[in-house]
Amino acid sequence: MMALRSCCRSLERCFGRLSGGGGDGLLWDMGLKPHALGDYSIAVVQANSSLEDQSQVFISPSATIVGVYDGHGGPEASRFINKNLFPYINKFASEQGGLSTNVIKKAFDATEEDFLHLVRRSFPAQPQIASVGSCCLVGAITDDALYVANLGDSRAVLGRRVLDGSKCPVAAERLSTDHNVSVEEVRKEVVALHPNDSHIVLYCHGVWRIKGIIQVSRSIGDVYLKKPEINRDPMFREFASPIPLKSPVMSAEPSIIKRELKDEDMFIIFASDGLWEQLSDEAAVKIVFTSPRSGVAKRLVRAALQEAARKREMRYSDITKIGKGSRRHIHDDITVVVVYLDHHKLASSNRSRHAKVGCINAPTDIFSLNSNDPEGDLLHSLS
């Protein structure tokens, strides 16, 4: 029995924790881990039948890179990004002597192109793969510089110490751009790109959508909305209703910013839109600022779930009794990565020199992990 407990503790340290035991069996979190400039924490909750969110963190003595990929239409695109994007970032950074805006842009482009090739190869047997896509959010920290690149509506928000004596000691600063046509500026951008299409953006059931189908305007995948010839293919029309397209209505052009880190920069929250549908930037930053570091990502996920329950006049404990798939009617998959920035404390330390090199991936599917499903591929995703 003692040996079994020891083994379980070792697995938990490696793979993270599941709530289980009467808690939320679709919630997973990984305890606080070190990176070169501080600590980071990850948590994920599954709502869809197959988890469509994927996430990963790469650490080394010289860089920390975070990826959050929020899939739609199925998990294939987000899983593909999870496998291919970071290797491309590493490849191009090696070729060009370090991270840069151009390196990240090339990695996004190569991942999109590779997924397009996969769709074309798979299309005869699996035409529905043309309708699968994913938002893609990446944050990279190196040499006191922060890069944030984004497609879609996952979001990176900085918690910054306020130094002007204000009543609120911390401020929220959004670092990414939401590519979602619910935002008026994005809607105008899409309309301006398609002046001859009066139905390019439609208001359906209280939500703005491109062609009445999708809210995000940029992604990896969604080939049927980027390649009109796919949309017109008879095989695809057997799977989905035809959409009259003369030109692409979505793009894979990421928004990328570079920002110098400052001493007042305390932490960054990277999260899929499942979190931001429930919590404002300011509310999320306040939770992180006022909470202990240990379990902070899980605390954000639970705060979002409590808000989702409140909107439905339910309790969080009621949500935990709802199975995957049905639970999507209450909330989306939610992924949160919190990265603390202790560069001002660590400038004179040797911590960064001893930071290990490695990449941690969240589980591919929480339900399969929790049920000990032999088809689950946690070990593969973490290898």
pLDDT score of 376? 37
303 inside domain? yes
What's the pLDDT score for residue 103?
Answer: 98
Average pLDDT, the chain: 88
Asked if residue 176 belongs to a domain, the reply is yes
CA distance 376 to 383: 14
Sign of CA dihedral 314, 316, 321, 324: positive
pLDDT tens, position by position, 363-376: 999 987 764 443 33
Task: Examine residue 207 and state whether it is found in any structural domain, yes or no.
Answer: no
What would the pLDDT profile of 164-179 be if each residue is shown by its tens digit? 777 789 999 999 999 9
379: pLDDT strictly greater than 60: no
300 confidence band (pLDDT: 50, 70, 90): very high
Q: What is the mean pLDDT of residues 95-99?
A: 95
| Rounded distance between C-alpha atoms, residue 196 and residue 299, angstroms | 47
Whether residue 255 lies inside any domain: the answer is: yes
Residue 12 has pLDDT above 90, yes or no: no
Query: What does the DSSP assignment read for 19-48?
Result: --TTS-TTEEEEEEEEETTEEEEEEEE--S
Q: Report DSSP state, residue 279.
A: S
**Is the full-model pTM beyond 0.75?**
yes
- Give the bridge partners for 267, in sequence order: 159, 340
How far is residue 324's CA from residue 343's CA, in Å, rounded to a whole number?
40
The answer to whether residue 77 scores a pLDDT higher than 60 is yes
pLDDT value of residue 22: 46
What's the whole-number mean pLDDT along residues 47-68? 96
Q: What is the pLDDT of residue 245?
A: 84
pLDDT of residue 325: 94
At 241, the pLDDT band (50, 70, 90 cuts) reads: confident
Residue 191 placed within a domain? no
The DSSP code sequence of 235-272 is HHHHHS-----SS-S-B---EEEEEE--TTEEEEEEE-
Q: Is residue 203 domain-resident? A: no
Q: Looking at the domain assignment, is residue 206 inside a domain?
A: no
Structural domain including 361 reads 14-180+216-382
Name the phi and psi angles at 200, rounded to 5.
-65, -35
Average pLDDT in the 237-245 region?
A: 76
Structural domain count of the chain: 1
Write the CATH number for 341: 3.60.40.10
Instruction: Give strand ranges (E) for the chain.
Output: 17-18, 27-35, 38-45, 53-59, 64-72, 133-134, 136-142, 145-151, 155-161, 170-174, 201-204, 207-210, 220-221, 255-260, 265-271, 334-340, 358-361
Q: Where are the beta strands (DSSP E) in 321-363?
A: 334-340, 358-361
Q: pLDDT for 337-355, tens place per residue? A: 999 999 655 544 454 555 6
Sign of the Cα torsion 20, 43, 86, 180 reads: positive
Answer whether residue 108 is part of any domain: yes
Which residues have C-beta within 8 Å of that of residue 329, sequence separation ≥ 6?
Answer: none
pLDDT at position 17 is 53
Q: Give the pLDDT mean for 309-321.
A: 94
pLDDT at 95: 97
Which residues partner with 41 through β-bridges? 338
Could you tell me what percent of the chain has a pLDDT over 70? Answer: 87
